[in-house]
Amino acid sequence: MTRKREGADVVWEALLAEGVDVVFGHPGGAVLPIYDAMTKYPVRHVLARHEQGAAHMADGYARATGRVGVAMATSGPGALNLVTGLATAMMDSIPLVAITGQVPTSLLGTDAFQETDVVGVTLPITKHNFLVTDVHELPWVLRAAFKIARSGRPGPVLVDICKDVQTDITDRPLPDPAEIHIPGLERQPSVDVEAVHAAADLINRASRPLIIAGHGVLMAHAERELQALAEKGSIPVTTTLLGIGSIPETHPLSLGMSGMHGEAASNFALQECDVLIAIGMRFDDRVTGKLEEFAPKAKIVHFELDPSEVGKNIEPTVAVVGDAKEALQHLLPLIKERHHPEWLRRLQEWKAESQARDAVNLETEDLIPPQVMRELWYVTGGQALVASDVGQHQMWEAQYYMHQRPNQLFTSGGLGTMGYGLPAAIGAQVGRPEEKVWAVVGDGGFQMTLQELGTVAQENVPVKIAIIRNGYLGMVRQWQQLFYERRYAATPILSPDLVKLAEAYGIPARRVTKRSELHQALKEAHDADTPYLLDLEVVEEFNVYPMVAPGERVDNMLRRPLVPGEDGLTPAW
Amino acid sequence: MSKHTIVAWMEDKPGVLARVANLFRRRNFNIESLAVGHTETPGVSRMTFVVEGDDRMVDQAVKQLLKLMNVIRVEDVTYKPTVLRELALIRVQTTPQTRSEVIQLAEIYRAQIVDVALDSLVVQIVGPEERVDSFIDLLEHFGIVEMVRTGRVAMTRANGRNGKKRQGSLGV
């Protein structure tokens, strides 16, 4: 029989048993007993300035470490502030456990002070959630929460614990995770070898094969298998936004990202390939463009863990349901060594043509974002962990920072959550203290969660913050320019003096306005042992290209202009 | 677009119905009927849904249902030989002149009179929806005061359990 202890102790016992060493949170009335018990346990608590920050930090931590991130908040407003972070994690399949306090069981449903039906609110944005009204259930529920969060296709799980449960006594032990039986967890698909043979057959007969690698490759740790497949079959690789890092972007077979702001060569390849090997991706509309005309010449092989993603948007010729690593391990011996010189030559031509018209070639003293991102790549040796926010800078980062390794980029892909970048970078840095972590953010998104500078300062988290400041909500402005006759409704945005702001928090900072200062400034920030903020004043009306207009064919792109102003839209600067 | 009958087994726990309902709502599915009850296994409840949708939409709904932690099993029985039944209680206006006519109709439909008043009868009918529908159509002639239907419940027939697909057997 386990010793008797309070529910609050059970929480920390469970966290320790799950290997949790850091919790991101914000205390409050209904979660006080858990916070009070915390002082007895060897766990670091990072105080976020807003619960949304705590959720994104836990998310960044989870992406950077591969472990389950933990966020904690009080009832009502505290829990509600987690919502955006939970939805972000849900869309991108990130394993999180959120622990929230709830009013005492006697007050449930009475509209008590700081009471919200948090389980009801988070129902559609969590993989699963629990309301705990009986302390004897708590050990099982907490173990189950972690098991659900990390199993299969991972996701966020919320555990809402009534305040009286936190102080009630139980002698129930923590169950062994192997003893946790939940119907939804019993359905882990195993790879169908017959389907793998069918896939190999298609791939071996292809003359213009293409791999599109998604987040699932990284989550399954299948990068090596992916690269082996590409090299053995001489198959070029494009990625989704979240698949970035599944192959080094300097690899000769890497085509970079595809989709709405994908590389032209990638998008042309999608439309020209005769066999498309989709691995751990879900044919999101940002990738496919006009769905009916996506990859029209291709037979599609879909490797996917989640059966509900198979046939959801695209009906594949062959589907292999199961873990990507396991599936690729079965596949590799069946793949014939092949060469596709003609196909690869065409891709090279597309790449070369893109490079010739690229904005990185421009000679100007102004700061232009593609050059800033490429310079950051040089300065960091391509090895930094980068958390980006959402908008233009996110796409420039994806395009111009040539990611070299898995789990190097953390970004809100599915939900597109502005304000994600800074807190995610904090979480990543806390989880990977030995790495250099950069937050690449826009002036819009940064101002949504800039209060987390307080967390940076208080916890002395040495993140480097690059703010790509163009004075606009740039991506929205770009759409207004292209589709709303340049009526810039509500997109100009003022920033405070960002250098002074950083200094107010005791964070070293510097403003950069000229290309000639860029290298030195980035280097100074990168080499610092402290946090560092760079205010990068870039050209205002600079657009992200290529761009596929929403609903258009993915190869129907607004291309990068050869010379400034050639698109008739981007003003000469 | 056609009507599909989906049977789902799930853990009998608080909030499970909300999870299921939410899943259909989110995908803009209209649940035409939903019947929930206990099964032969303690702790397991069984739902029968009737939803309108094409095969692909319904296939997606089934796959999404299977992602719910509390869901044990899901079966689309639409194209399987299945016993489909519904129960309805109907309160019909009667006069001394029409009462016997209603009772006669009930006999034909194997329905039962379960409550009698001077000016009305409550009739209970169990059967496939088509039979319930046609009975109701007839009773409307007398004036229906109140009606409640349970929605469809379904159980596949023993000879349909080996994966043999027989198109749309309604097996009355």
- CA angle, A443 then A449 then A454, to 5°: 110
Structural domain includes residue A289: yes
Q: Is the domain of A236 the same as that of A309?
A: yes
Contacts of residue A177, Cβ cutoff 8 Å, sequence gap at least 6: A143, A146, A147
Per-residue confidence (pLDDT) for residue A563, from 0 to 100: 60
Structural domain includes residue A565: no
Q: Is the domain of A368 the same as that of A345?
A: no
* CA distance linking residue B87 with residue A466, whole number of Å: 66
* CA distance linking residue A133 with residue A210, whole number of Å: 52
* CA distance linking residue A421 with residue A401, whole number of Å: 16
Nearest chain B Cα distance for residue A95, angstroms: 15
SS3 A208: coil
Q: Identify the domain boundary among A300, A327, A349.
A: A349
Residues in chain B: 172
Q: Is the domain of A410 the same as that of A513?
A: yes
**Could you give the percent of chain A with pLDDT greater than 90?**
94
Domain boundaries B2-76, corresponding CATH code: 3.30.70.260
Burial class (CB in 10 A: 0-12, 13-18, 19+), A396: buried
pLDDT band per the 50, 70, 90 thresholds, residue A562: low
CATH architecture classification, B83-153: 2-Layer Sandwich (3.30)
Per-residue confidence (pLDDT) for residue A266, from 0 to 100: 97
- Would you tell me which residues 178-207 of chain A have a C-beta closer than 8 angstroms to some C-beta of chain B? 182-185, 187
Q: Is the domain of A266 the same as that of A386?
A: no
Q: Cβ atoms within 10 A of the Cβ of B73, count?
A: 14
Q: Cβ–Cβ of A128/B69 closer than 8 Å?
A: yes
Nearest chain A Cα distance for residue B12, angstroms: 12
Burial class (CB in 10 A: 0-12, 13-18, 19+), A331: buried
* CA distance linking residue B135 with residue B130, whole number of Å: 9
SS3 B1: coil
pLDDT band per the 50, 70, 90 thresholds, residue A177: very high
Q: Is the domain of A124 the same as that of A202?
A: no
Q: Report whether pLDDT(A428) > 80.
A: yes
pLDDT band per the 50, 70, 90 thresholds, residue B57: confident
Residue to substitute from A117, A123, A133, interface B, most B β-carbons within 10 A: A123
Average pLDDT along chain A: 96
Q: Is the domain of A304 the same as that of A170?
A: no
Q: Is the domain of A153 the same as that of A48?
A: yes
State both tokens at A195: 């389907």
Q: Is the domain of A415 the same as that of A514?
A: yes
SS3 A244: coil
Of A182, A183, A308, the CB nearest to B63: A308
A523 is catalytic: no
Q: A130, A124, A114, A123: which is closest to A78 by C-alpha?
A: A114
Can you tell me the ipTM of this complex?
0.90
Q: Is the domain of A258 the same as that of A400?
A: no
State both tokens at A103: 């009013």
State both tokens at B17: 């119905």
For B68, name the nearest residue in chain A, comparing CA atoms only: A184
Q: Check A219, A257, A418, A475 and give the catalytic one.
A: A475
Of B10, B15, B72, the CB nearest to A119: B15
pLDDT band per the 50, 70, 90 thresholds, residue A568: low
Q: Check A6, A38, A72, A163 and give the catalytic one.
A: A163
* CA distance linking residue A140 with residue A176, whole number of Å: 9
Q: What is the mean pLDDT of residues A387-392?
A: 98
A114 is catalytic: yes
CA B74 vs CA A168, A192, B78: distances in Å: 38, 21, 12
Of B14, B22, B72, the CB nearest to A123: B22
Residue-by-residue DSSP string for A468-504: EE-SB-HHHHHHHHHHSTT--TT-B-----HHHHHHH
Per-residue confidence (pLDDT) for residue B161, from 0 to 100: 52
* Residue pLDDT, tens place only, B77-119: 999 999 999 999 999 999 999 999 999 999 999 999 999 999 9
A163 is catalytic: yes
Amino acid of residue A333:
P
A500 is catalytic: no
Structural domain includes residue A550: no
Q: Is the domain of A471 the same as that of A504?
A: yes
B-chain residues near A185 (CB < 8 A): 69
Q: Is the domain of A408 the same as that of A530?
A: yes
Of A127, A184, A312, the CB nearest to B70: A184
We report the CATH number of the domain holding residue A262 as 3.40.50.1220
A113 is catalytic: yes
Residue whose token pair is 């860029």: A518
Residue-by-residue DSSP string for A43-86: -EEEE-SSHHHHHHHHHHHHHHHSS-EEEEE-TTHHHHTTHHHH
- Would you tell me which residues 48-67 of chain B have a C-beta closer than 8 angstroms to some C-beta of chain A? 56, 59-60, 63-64, 66-67
The domain tally of chain A equals: 3
Determine the structural domain holding residue A530 and report its residue range: 359-542
Q: Map out the domains of chain B as residue ranges.
A: 2-76, 83-153
* CA distance linking residue A155 with residue A132, whole number of Å: 20
We report the CATH number of the domain holding residue A42 as 3.40.50.970
Q: Is the domain of A337 the same as that of A419?
A: no
Nearest chain A Cα distance for residue B85, angstroms: 28
* Residue pLDDT, tens place only, A235-263: 999 999 999 999 999 999 999 999 999 99
Residue whose token pair is 């329905």: B111
pLDDT band per the 50, 70, 90 thresholds, residue A505: very high
* CA distance linking residue A14 with residue A180, whole number of Å: 14
Q: A89, A155, A175: which is closest to B68 by C-alpha?
A: A155
Q: Identify the domain boundary among A319, A349, A379.
A: A349
Q: Check A4, A40, A113, A458 and give the catalytic one.
A: A113
Q: Cβ–Cβ of B66/A308 closer than 8 Å?
A: yes
Of B10, B18, B72, the CB nearest to A123: B18
Per-residue confidence (pLDDT) for residue A523, from 0 to 100: 98
Per-residue confidence (pLDDT) for residue B166, from 0 to 100: 44
Structural domain includes residue A551: no
A-chain residues near B68 (CB < 8 A): 184
Residue whose token pair is 């970048």: A421
Q: Cβ–Cβ of B11/A183 closer than 8 Å?
A: yes
